[in-house]
Chain A
């Protein structure tokens, strides 16, 4: 099953886990499944049906925006990463 890597600021909403298995054949399906498992995450990732603009998603190490966005296909061995914006300095 594909694994979703959860960034530090969202781990309180994934039961503290940094890696969670989620089912689906596309990024959209996987994030939906993630949201079903952890409702707190869904709210932070999505604004209605749209991914929030400051949330970036990568499959393995590729940004989905130059792949197929939420339609990007995901293989069972792939990693989907949620990458937050880092403001501090």
Chain B
């Protein structure tokens, strides 16, 4: 006797019984495609929610590797992942496939920039913000407005955070709200101000619920405000921003001047949130050959490498190099110094 195949909807029974979602909403969810930009603190919570909720396809894009101090808040990673030097996107995907094998999970270990973001999002129904810097957020904003795709912004620091949902043409965009990012040094970073796991989870959960509404087609329920919370002071605010649409002279959604997407703004060298480190991004025509590189660098001491990265110490700085030529150089905030170190040790 043939065993009946289980109904794919069964595992979502507790979700479909929520009347505002229902079976129709769930079916929409299961056909949906999401690009998740960033899989760190916000990103891991987002990925966990969306995969469990049963999106159709999730593309997880993250440039970084797991370190032990991530474990305090980046919920998909564990000590074994740290020991294996796994990229965040890869480690997240391994866990998520065990959580819900019905979801197509794609990983891209790369730095999102204006040369690659189109390819990463053009087939997505929704873009989710799991990033840690405004450069990438403005890039997401440009491409979302240009391609008419919704996206959800989230930011968190210390015990507080903010979120806003951007639906092109219906809500203000990120640049309507904050036209230019604060320069480095003007705002706290996770290194100076810290960040608490529950605050991360709250903001990411707010983002995730908005994603579920959008992907299931429940547009009427979408958040129209800038939500701000502080979990230490118990502040919860809904700031009215809807009327900014069309009122502010937005270079992005009003003038369709996509300065970040066109590469007019933005850099390829960025200081990293919460660490005394700089990432230098260089486009190569072919991936680096790590065994050869390890031989060349052998005089420096121990060179560790695997398929995903090569790591060594030089002049008191730890270098992590990726096959695509990117390097994260620790022990400096100085972009010029990092570029010099890169040139000296990683090469041109």
A residues sitting closer than 8 Å to B (CB atoms) are 8-9, 18, 44, 52-54, 56, 58, 61-63, 65-66, 81, 83-89
Contacts and interface: CB of A to CB of B under 8 A. Distances in A.
Contact of B182 (A18, A58, A81, A85): A85
B101 interface: no
19 contacts: A8-B193, A54-B178, A61-B239, A63-B239, A63-B244, A65-B244, A66-B248, A81-B237, A81-B239, A85-B134, A85-B181, A86-B156, A86-B160, A87-B187, A87-B273, A88-B195, A89-B43, A89-B129, A89-B130
Contacts of A84: 182, 187
Contacts of B228: 83
Interface string B60-90: 0000000000000000000000000000000
Given A56-B178, A61-B238, A62-B240, A87 B133 contact: yes
Nearest to B203: A89
Q: Give the dominant DSSP class at B's interface.
A: mixed
Nearest to A55: B182
Contact of A63 (B181, B187, B240): B240
B113 to A, nearest CB: 17
Interface in B106-150: 129-134, 137
Interface in B13-63: 38, 40-43
A56 B177 contact: yes
A59 to B, nearest CB: 10
A66 B182 contact: no
B263 interface: no
Given A61-B238, A63-B240, A63-B244, A89 B156 contact: yes
